[in-house]
Amino acid sequence: MAVGFPLVAQGLLVTKIQESCVFLNDRWEERVAASLDAAELLRYRSNLLGSDLRITNFGGGNTSSKIADTDPLDGSAKTVLWIKGSGGDIGSMQRTGFATLYLDKVLALDGKYRGVGAEDEMVGLYPLCAFGNNNVAASIDTPLHAFLPFKTHRPPAPGLGHRTGCCRERPRENGRV
């Protein structure tokens, strides 16, 4: 411990003790990131976030990206939601651990939503939105990732940070994040 500057508190001279802090190291390597396609960039970002248990609980955290791809059936341009597979660990996840879903089909599920009491029914509809031949079970947080307007979504921290991590760049609206 290092001794800091003296403080005056309630008429007493107090010496502030500064403890050693371990900060998060920026392990992002632009050289590595520049060589990756969009799906591998999601994996790389996910692995970095999940490798530090001060940020993300083991087996927890979700990351996603909305990636342009070509529909294997008709050749049209589609936006595909790549999202961490259910039960996966983002610290060790490989590309094959992500579910891939047609974003427009996931968004269309809004019309099937019958309310909070029927939310579990929605999970059973995610496989109908699968892109390509991907049978990875999508995260329970899939609607959150789909409906937010961000291209990438990374709410890794436990607690409130987990729920608002994607909104760092977005200003507060009406006092809510």
Q: Domains in the chain: how many in total? A: 1
pLDDT given at position 18: 54
Residues with pLDDT less than 70, the chain = 1-22, 153-177
Find the CATH number of the domain harbouring 97: 3.40.225.10
- Which element (helix H / strand E) includes 164? helix 160-164
**CA-to-CA separations, 13 to 4, 8, 10, 55, 74, in angstroms, rounded:** 13, 5, 8, 37, 76
Tell me whether residue 41 is in a domain: yes
Tell me whether residue 23 is in a domain: no
pLDDT given at position 44: 95
Domain of residue 117 covers 29-167
Tell me whether residue 6 is in a domain: no
Tell me whether residue 12 is in a domain: no
Tell me whether residue 76 is in a domain: yes
pLDDT given at position 10: 47
pLDDT given at position 20: 61
Tell me whether residue 13 is in a domain: no
* Total-model pTM: 0.73
CA distance 50 to 22: 17
- Which element (helix H / strand E) includes 105? helix 103-108
> Tokens 């992500």 map to which residue?
98
Tell me whether residue 88 is in a domain: yes
3-state SS assignment for residue 66: strand
Tell me whether residue 138 is in a domain: yes
